[in-house]
Amino acid sequence: MINSKKFKIIVKANAKENKIECFDINKNAYIVRIKAKPEDNKANIEIIKFLSKYLKKKVRIASGLKSKEKIIEAIG
């Protein structure tokens, strides 16, 4: 599904489960639902854990730490 080193996501926090919902063609971004609340960096930590496990690679948030729209970079 995700095959690029850098890609854009739009985060929907406070979801029932962690999942990659779909790809938004208009915004050129994946919609990612995360269980964690968007406070005290909890959602960002959950995003990194979830995407690292999903991609089987280390990931980091390259930009958008305080935004719903983030650029994710896969490392390695």
Q: Is residue 1 pLDDT above 60, yes or no?
A: no
Cα–Cα nearest to 38, from 10, 4, 75, 72: 10
C-alpha span between 14 and 75 (Å, rounded): 27
Q: Is 25 helix (H, G, I), strand (E, B) or coil?
A: coil
Q: For 40-64, what is the mean pLDDT?
A: 95
pLDDT, tens digit, 9 for 90 and up, residues 7-26: 999 999 999 999 999 999 99
Amino acid found at 7? F
pTM of the model: 0.89
